[in-house]
Amino acid sequence: MQFDIRRFDIYRKIPKDLTQPTTTGAAISLACISFISTLLLIELYYFITPDVISELFVDIPEGGVAEKIPVHIDISVSEVSCQYLGIDIQDDLGRHEVGFHENTMKIPENNGAGCRINATFKITRVPGNFHVSTHSAAMQPQNIDMKHVIHDLAFGDTIKGFRQIPNRRAFRPLKRFNNTNNNNRVSHDYLMKIVPTIYENLSGNRRYPFQFTFFYRGFAPNQPGAPPAIWFRYDIMPITVKYTERRQKFYTFITSICAIVGGSFTVASILDSLIFTASELFKKFELGKMT
């Protein structure tokens, strides 16, 4: 007896002359195909789009020496001209720079009565402050008013190009912060808690932006006659947040597709059988009433 491999076929075919197409079955089939196509597109989108996994840990620098943090600030002071303004930097390690001028650009505003300062510098990962003031000016202007608008303030690497990064607002919470409604001769104080952050994409490339929160207060200068300033006092948190991009495994994607296709066809087949059976019973009932 010749061996016939077709005996192992569990998907036996039914001749077309033994099948009966129905309008209801066609409608269910079209709806099922549309439903499956939609779910497949959604699964494909989630497969292509990476997930971002977050974790917290204490980052201990090797040898106790930590890298410095880049800072970028873009701020406009509306009532003090550029010749009087400068950036001063201090920290707990004894750094004290008055009138920092490297990588600093000053643009006159308000017909020369105001000034926009765009500066980039580095700070050490210890508590400290930097402030915009007239301390470096040879002569102090009269009636100093430090009303200002913070166009941007960011620490560390830029996050441009990282679309999946969560909580983007936390990296620039002071962006477009308008502080022009306070009284004259008031110092502005921003108390900031900076959180080191690591972002690792699918390629393994890392960027090091910094998140931060802030609390604002306005106060009169402690010493009589002391000029007001705009203070940014910071403290570095010991906890580091790491975001890592992860893509869904390919076998998981295939399993999801099989589940969607198989489950949808099974449910559609059961629904079609129920409707067909119910319609046949209704027809027999109607014929019985007629006879």
Cβ count near 128 (within 10 Å): 19
Same domain, 211 and 254: no
Query: pLDDT over 90 for what percent of the chain?
Result: 41
Per-residue pLDDT for 101 more than 90? no
Same domain, 219 and 272: no
Same domain, 255 and 225: no
Q: Which domain holds residue 233?
A: 55-246
- Give the phi and the psi of residue 48 in degrees, each rounded to 5: -75, -40
Structural tokens at position 192: 């900031």
Same domain, 116 and 76: yes
Q: Are strands 51-58 and 239-246 parallel, antiparallel or unpaired?
A: antiparallel
> What is the tens place of the pLDDT at every residue in 10-51?
777 777 776 777 788 888 888 888 988 999 898 888 888 888
Confidence of residue 280 (pLDDT cuts 50, 70, 90): confident
Same domain, 203 and 266: no
Per-residue pLDDT for 212 more than 60? yes
Angstrom distances, CA of residue 101 to CA of 88, 106, 119, 121: 9, 10, 8, 9
Structural domain includes residue 10? no
- H or E element at residue 254: helix 250-290
Same domain, 262 and 118: no
Same domain, 122 and 264: no
Structural domain includes residue 172? yes
Same domain, 126 and 222: yes
Q: What is the average pLDDT value for the chain, to the nearest integer? A: 87
Beta strands in the chain (DSSP E): 51-58, 69-77, 86-91, 96-100, 104-109, 114-123, 128-133, 148-156, 177-179, 187-200, 206-207, 209-219, 230-236, 239-246
Same domain, 171 and 267: no
Same domain, 98 and 187: yes
Same domain, 124 and 258: no
Confidence of residue 175 (pLDDT cuts 50, 70, 90): very high
pTM for this predicted structure: 0.76
Of the ranges 54-58, 188-192, 225-229, the best mean pLDDT one: 188-192
Structural domain tally of the chain?
2
Same domain, 76 and 186: yes
- Tell me the C-alpha distance between 22 and 153, whole Å: 67
Confidence of residue 291 (pLDDT cuts 50, 70, 90): low
